[in-house]
Structure 1
Amino acid sequence: MPSLSSSSSPSPSPSGAITDVAGIEVGHFNDTRRPTGCTVILTRDGAVGGVDVRGAAPGTRETDLLAPGNLVQQVHGIMLAGGSAWGLAATEGAMRWLEERGVGMDVRFGTLPIVPSAVLFDLPMGDARFRPDAASGYAACEAASTAPPAEGNVGAGAGALVGKLFGVDRAMKGGIGTASITVGGITVGALIACNALGDVIDPDTAQVVAGARTADGLRLLDTRRALMRGELTKPLLAGTNTTIGVVATDAVLTKVQANRLAMTAHDGLARSINPVHTMSDGDTLFALATGHVPLSDATPGMTVLCALAAEVVAQATVRAVRAARSVSVGDLHIPCAGDLAARG
């Protein structure tokens, strides 16, 4: 395996996005009435799917069918949305869009698109009566392309916040981010909508990038150290957070392998979010394998693919908050990572 010799090193793909994976398209919908939206990841030719749910308060749809022993072998898209459980309605729009184009599973009486979904809780951001619906999901599909997707305050990350253990008023802006790595002819990419209860950490420096702020709002608190000191957190409403996303590869994988890829991809969340997988998060990661590059003796095996999956998830999570911009909704002002960095 010369391509994996000790002298070689992973290098980012040209655009560093999940759309570097052949067979992947991404589209965002942004609601202009308040910060919320949805993001669709399309695989029109079908992809082997997997999923792993680690948070204790998930909002999901069609995840059971991704279990290795269940019937469906391929999916045609993944929907990520804000709006809490109401946002799952965006999936209907994606299914209609795909059906109109003849994309889906032949069930004899029609073509049935398979679109598993997950949502995050962004209801504190403006009028909660506005949330993604079927029209939103359809519009996201209309916007989908193979171009590198926008990052930050867009799509499923439009209303995302991070660092809420000490209250929303001390939180910072979350968002959506993407990254990819190519090694030995195989590309692995990730798209992450980060709305975490905890702080976002740069794994390369171990420094907090965005999260809970000090009482005066001017500096990062560092939630991990604050918890170790015994500082009291605010009462939490279960399910009001959640990081959701997709890790994709152009390798040929089985459903068992795709589920393993989703499982190990959560290591990337553990490196970049602290605390993670809490009782108030519904952290869910999907895996997609488009099958454009068969695994062989000359390509990386599952151990390397899993390592790459964790890496791109961590990178995409950090990029989500670095690309985010501050927002003001009513009396609530939420700064972004760039704001605090500018203050030094």
Structure 2
Amino acid sequence: MTPPPPQLLSAFAGHWTGSGTGVTVVLPPPGTVGSGEVRGGAPATREFALLDPTRLVDRVDAVVLSGGSAFGLSAADGVMELLRERGQGFPTPAGPVPIVVGMSVFDHSVRTGPPGADAGRSAVRAAWAGEPLTAGRVGAGTGASTGGWRGRRDPGGVGWATCSAGAADVAAVVVVNAWGDVLDAEGRPSGDGAVPVSAPPSGFLQNTTIGVVLTNATLAKNDCFLLAQSGHTGFARAIHPAHSRFDGDAVVALATGEIAAEVSLELIRAVAVDAVIAAVRTAVAA
């Protein structure tokens, strides 16, 4: 069966939504270059070390965003299996090894049952089937919240946005489970704006904002690393405070290389900031 037209630039993206948790997967086309950066103090990630610009592998076959904290990283196992069945991955003498990067947020499924390999497979099949990429409390954003630094649990979620960067396009998918507040276009926080408590409230480790920035421009791995940094700039402009010790904030940047025309990296980075800001706000507005 020929896959339907992609939903997010040239990538397939899909959700699996469970009880209080979920998985969101981004499947870029083969040959996509990727890198990433962690800035939060409490990350839950998989295969992030290979994203360093100095490492051998420069291609990424999938990015899996999940609930369940470190337990939820096992959702990537199911994604790897489906991609291996298709013969996709880094070539080795024993066969292709799909490069699947994982990032997780903390939700209550840590106690009740985090998403696993089956959930990852379901998210991939939803992407391949062309199911709508909805926003809000779905997929990896199902159990997300914000405002913990003020002792609140305002709704979080998953959001996405696309922007134009000259001849290229930039998209962002973000799961917002932040310790801080999401700010509106006027810089105002969600909720009632109460003065923060003097110390982190109970449950202060249950936070993280994670995301994927995707462009169809042609970029090298080090360029993608810089693009991931711009994704974090978007977090800092849309969430206050961001990148705390209590968050696991991480961004993966992907470049599919479909646009042959030279596009300024700095333009792409600037547009990526706007795309991430829009995706963060969509996550809590949906």
The one-letter code sitting in structure 2 at the alignment partner of 1:74 is: R
The answer as to whether partners of 1:199 and 1:222 remain within 8 angstroms in 2 is: no
Q: Deviations over 1:259-310 (max 9, x none)?
A: 00001111110111001100110000100001100242xxx30111100111
Q: How big is the shift at 1:183?
A: 2.9
Residue 6 (structure 2) pairs with residue 25 (structure 1): no
For the Cα contact (< 8 Å) 1:44–1:77, is it kept in 2? Answer: no
Take 1:180 and 1:285, find their aligned partners in 2: how far apart are those partners?
16
Which deviates further from its counterpart, 103-112 or 187-196? 103-112
Distance 1:283 1:83 in 2: 15
Give distance in 1, aligned partners of 2:118 and 2:159. Answer: 24
Letter in 2 for 1:281: D
1:261 partner letter: L
Distance 1:35 1:244 in 2: 18
In structure 1, the partner of 2:282 is 319
Q: Is the 8 A contact 1:98 1:104 kept in 2?
A: yes
**1:206: which partner in 2?**
187
Query: Pick from 259, 273, 289: which aligns with 2:239?
Result: 273
Q: 1:142: which partner in 2? A: 125
Alignment deviations for residues 79-126 of structure 1 (CA, whole Å, 9 cap, x no partner): 000001000000000000111111111112111100011100012x7x
Distance in 2 between residues matched to 1:163 and 1:233, nearest whole Å: 14
Rounded to whole Å, the distance in 2 between the matches of 1:101 and 1:245 is 25
Partner of residue 216, structure 1? none
Cross-structure match for 1:45: 30
The answer to whether the 8 Å contact 1:37/1:155 transfers is yes
Q: Does 1:131 align with 2:114?
A: yes
Task: Identify the residue that residue 110 of structure 1 maps to in structure 2.
Answer: 95
Moved more, 136-145 or 53-62: 136-145
Contact conserved, 2:148 with 2:204, CA < 8 A, in 1? no
Q: TM-score, normalised by structure 1?
A: 0.78
Which residue of structure 2 lines up, in the alignment, with residue 305 of structure 1? 268
Q: Is the 8 A contact 2:13 2:24 kept in 1?
A: yes
Identity of aligned residues (%): 40
Q: How far 1:38 sits from its partner (Å)?
A: 0.6
SS at match of 1:289: strand
Q: CA RMSD in A?
A: 1.7
The aligned residue for residue 68 of structure 1 is: 53
Structure-2-length-normalised TM-score: 0.93
Amino acid at match of 1:318: R
Alpha-carbon deviation of 1:190?
A: 0.1
Displacement of 1:235 in angstroms is 3.2
Residue of structure 2 equivalent to 1:6: none
CA distance 1:78–1:283, change in 2 (3 Å): same
Structure of higher CA gyration radius: 1
Aligned to 1:158: 142
Structure 2 unaligned residues grouped into runs of 5+:
1-5
Structure 2 letter corresponding to 1:275? P
Q: Distance in 2 between matches of 1:29 and 1:221?
A: 32
How many residues are paired up? 280
Inter-partner Cα distance in structure 1 for 2:79 and 2:216: 22
Residue pair 1:58, 1:239 contacting (<8 A) in 2 also? no
Distance in 2 (alpha carbons) for counterparts of 1:162 and 1:81:
17
Deviation of residue 237 (structure 1)?
A: 4.5
For residue 196 of structure 1, report the CA deviation from its aligned partner. 0.3
Q: Specify whether residues 236 and 257 from structure 1 end up closer, same or farther in structure 2 by C-alpha distance, changes over 3 A only.
A: farther
Structure 2 residue corresponding to 1:172, chosen from 141, 147, 154: 154
Q: Secondary structure at the match of 1:139?
A: helix
Indicate the residue corresponding to 2:219 in structure 1.
253
